[in-house]
Amino acid sequence: MSFKGFRTGKSIKSEAEEPSEELSLLKDSLSNPGRRRSYESAEDGEIEEGGHSSFLPTTTSTHRRHQFKFKRPAKKSPTILILTCLIILSVTLIISLYLGLIPSFEAEHPSHQINWNRPPPRNRQWSNYYGLLRPKIGSKEWKMLYPPSKPAGPRPLESWIKRYDYLRSISSSNQLDSPLSTTWTNPQAKLSMQTGLAEYPEGTIFNSDPNGICSYRRASCLRGETEDRGIGLQDIWLGKNHTWSINFDDGPLPPSTSLYKFLDQQDETATHFWVGSNVRDYPELALQAWKRGDHLAVHTWSHAHLTTLSDFEILGELGWTIQIIHDLTGLVPLYYRPPYGDVDNRVRALAKHVFGLTTTLWNCDSSDWSLNQTFALGDFLDPPMNGFGVQESVGMINGHINQPDKSVGKIILEHELSFESVEAFKLTFPNLKQNSWSTCNLADCLDLPWYQ
């Protein structure tokens, strides 16, 4: 037999058809209406203030109590579970990065070329989420990632030192074609503050003799194919037929803005041999040159005499300049120019074998560095030439332009060091076109790759 509750319409089986536990529950509810009423109201959520139900109890309360007693909890949404897992993974990743548990790029073997994708170590502060966020380019925090401009020879990163140690371990002073043999045989010079020249120990051979150091500043020694003897340390200083390489040292600096504007007007690109600390101080100008399509190269971090520095100090001067250019642009320079032309075989070998840089010099000069040294940087500033102004520099440049023999292209030494030096370039540029020179940046004039 069965009967129905008037509210639900659901059947309630007879006592004979129910299990013994259900029979006892039914009897209990019939004998105790108050308990039946509380079970029913608790399930329906209909207990009003004061503890009384708004509906009369019915004979369906046993069935309702049975439903309430064995009701299963609702399943959790899979979205919540996914979000929870993502939060746990994110927290684990952040902790791992902070503690350095994840291997860095610097773990590569030093026999490989340096991986510049590893940014410099960051200060761990709450404002940058303890080093996880890279500071804004040009900010005080960003500039703190790099060394100051003084003293010369900033400390190199560990990966550069490992590369150097590996190459030196496989080099020998008795084997001239080994990568860093010159670091065993070439002495470190000392800078004379009276003359601005690098002074070597007595008996040092400055020329390209097999036992010589091939100093450009002291003996105008250039390392060509003959002088190189297959070692792989050749210099660049000659241009190709009818080409004039547009290139500038010492930027980026405030006068660079005027230079970029003029180059835009002439639809020309140039090679910039940059001082790394100037890139740190004027990153917006560096980005402007890169975005306009100019060719970027290295001119050391602090414009120091490289031959007067130790091996590690040379690594710092070249390496930090490469690093900051790469951090801004993602590019790895292929060429460098030693400040003052101060280079010998030891410097050439460190630049080439540790960093992959090619030594780049010049075959004609504008002497525009003497015009204004307001922004000049370096361990020794050459005194300006008396009576030498913009017109004198223009005259020197035009003298090179007007040479009838164009079989050897020109790689001129010019600077974006001052507004006067930029003005000298502007005044002589029309004469370049009138004399049928093919103007281009250094790499394009030589048909060479721009970067590594």
pLDDT digits (tens, 9 = 90+) for 162-174: 999 999 999 877 6
pLDDT at 178: 78
Tokens at 428, concatenated: 């002589």
Res. 5 pLDDT band, cuts 50 70 90? very low
The per-residue pLDDT for range 392-408, each reduced to its tens digit, is 999 999 999 999 999 99
pLDDT at 51: 47
Q: Does position 33 have pLDDT exceeding 90, yes or no?
A: no
Distance of CA 190 to CAs 208, 222, 243, 416, Å?
21, 21, 37, 28
Closest CA to 306 of 296, 321, 295: 321
**Spatial separation of the C-alpha atoms in residues 281 and 253, rounded to whole Å:** 9
Domain range annotation of the chain: 2-69, 83-145, 218-445
Q: Does position 9 have pLDDT exceeding 50, yes or no?
A: no
pTM: 0.76
Q: Among 63, 66, 249, 305, which one carries the catalytic annotation?
A: 249
Does the structural domain 218-445 have CATH classification 3.40.800.20? no
Give the rounded percent of residues in the chain with a pLDDT score beyond 90: 63
Q: Is 267 a catalytic residue?
A: no
Closest CA to 256 of 243, 244, 236, 273: 273
Q: Among 66, 299, 303, 415, which one carries the catalytic annotation?
A: 415
The per-residue pLDDT for range 336-350, each reduced to its tens digit, is 999 999 999 999 999
Tokens at 345, concatenated: 């075989």
Res. 75 pLDDT band, cuts 50 70 90? low
The per-residue pLDDT for range 123-141, each reduced to its tens digit, is 555 555 555 677 899 999 9
Half-sphere exposure of 300 (CA within 13 A, CB side): 30
Res. 97 pLDDT band, cuts 50 70 90? low
Residue located via tokens 């308990």:
35
Q: Is 415 a catalytic residue?
A: yes
Parallel/antiparallel/unpaired status of strands 335-336 and 364-365 = unpaired
The per-residue pLDDT for range 230-250, each reduced to its tens digit, is 888 999 999 999 999 999 999
Q: How many residues does this entry show for the chain?
A: 452
Distance of CA 115 to CAs 90, 132, 156, 264, 332, Å?
27, 20, 14, 33, 10
The per-residue pLDDT for range 345-366, each reduced to its tens digit, is 999 999 999 999 999 999 999 9
The per-residue pLDDT for range 178-216, each reduced to its tens digit, is 788 888 889 999 999 999 999 999 999 999 998 899 999
Rounded to the nearest 5°, which phi and psi values hold at 430? -60, -35
